[in-house]
Amino acid sequence: MLLLSDKSKKLFDLQPIDDFIEGGKKTVPQTRKPSILVVGSVNMDLVLRTPRIPKSGESLIGEFYLYVPGGKGANQAVAAARLGASVTFVGRVGEDNHGVRLKEQFRKEGICTDFLKDDRENQTGLAVILLEETGDNRILVYPGANMAIDMNDVEGAFARDYDAVLLQLEVPRDVVVKACHLAREKNIPAILDAGPAQAFPLEQLAGLKILTPNETETCALTGIEVNTVEDAERAAKVLAEKSKAAFVVIKMGSKGAILYDNGHVEHFPAYRVRAVDTTAAGDAFTAAMAIHYVQHGDIREAIRYANAVGALTVTRMGAQPSLPISEEVELFLNNSIDNEQR
């Protein structure tokens, strides 16, 4: 049984939101927090719980709904902050109530919002999430102000130094490419979470350190349907050839993750938990992997740590309310080791 502190419990309440070189690898000294720049989306999520996804032309009665903060970029920023990183966020929200509430949530998490701008012409991004009783979901996103992020927003943020840059595909493509190039110029590891699923010219992302799509996103990028670990292994090789990323990590949910590293493929099984809501699990995985990698320089240990964070995330409802703090992850890992030794 996993015991949580009062602080941890509060983080998971189901409420609407009221150069250090070691062995040739750049790592972060343990005396300071890793500094993470997130360039990405921030949305308000409308989560509607339903027994199942309705068929075409069918109406179902939902069980309940709630508003929670979300967006792939914002989820990764909050996950990184709760795991102990110093986080700066680049993005945009509308001048509306959702925007005000989302910015306030960032400040509560200790995230730097110097580069989170208000946009007068666009509404704050919105995601409508249909959540089944099994924990599976379907998501429809209205990007809104997220698509108004421009080069100036990104260039301003890069005036500061970071240990890693996290990117996703819910913002304009040219912004993603620009951020990746700026990271390369400053020798900062860039990690791309390739969601939502879409074709993308990976060849433009020279210098990418880690490319990490899920199964659906992998298919969109390669044309290879990923249903098994073997499928993922084949697709990972294609992704590595296209992107030239140092590492390709394919997230496979309950099947774990696949690592492609310079021609070597390795499978990392997932931790067994009871899934309640899979929303933001991939974002939590990406943030955790990035933090652990820049701290320790070991991609395999980073994936194992990220698997634990992702597993914890699916045991709670909502995107950001489900994201764990570092102390909880350590408890989970220690309990997992104890169970394996019995």
Instruction: Please report, in angstroms and rounded to a whole number, the separation of the first and last CA atoms in the chain.
Output: 15
Q: How far apart are CA 172 and CA 321, in angstroms?
A: 27
60: Cα separation from own chain's centroid:
31
The half-sphere exposure of 66 on its side-chain side, counting CA atoms within 13 A, is: 18
Q: At 162, phi and psi to the nearest 5?
A: -140, 160
Residues 6 or more apart whose Cβ sits within 8 Å of residue 169: 176, 192, 193, 194, 195, 196, 198, 200
Residues 6 or more apart whose Cβ sits within 8 Å of residue 299: 210, 247, 249, 259, 261, 289, 293
CB of 265 within 8 A of CB of 250? Answer: no
Residues 6 or more apart whose Cβ sits within 8 Å of residue 69: 17, 42, 43, 44, 45, 78, 101, 102, 105, 319, 320
CB of 157 within 8 A of CB of 91? Answer: no
Neighbours of 331 (CB within 10 A): 17
- Choose the catalytic residue: 119, 153, 163, 283: 283
Identify the CA nearest to 170 among candidates 85, 80, 75: 75
CB of 302 within 8 A of CB of 257? Answer: no
Q: How far apart are CA 148 and CA 121, in angstroms?
A: 9
Read off the DSSP letter of residue 170.
Answer: S
118 is catalytic: no
Q: How far apart are CA 211 and CA 222, in angstroms?
A: 13
**Which residues are known to be catalytic?**
283
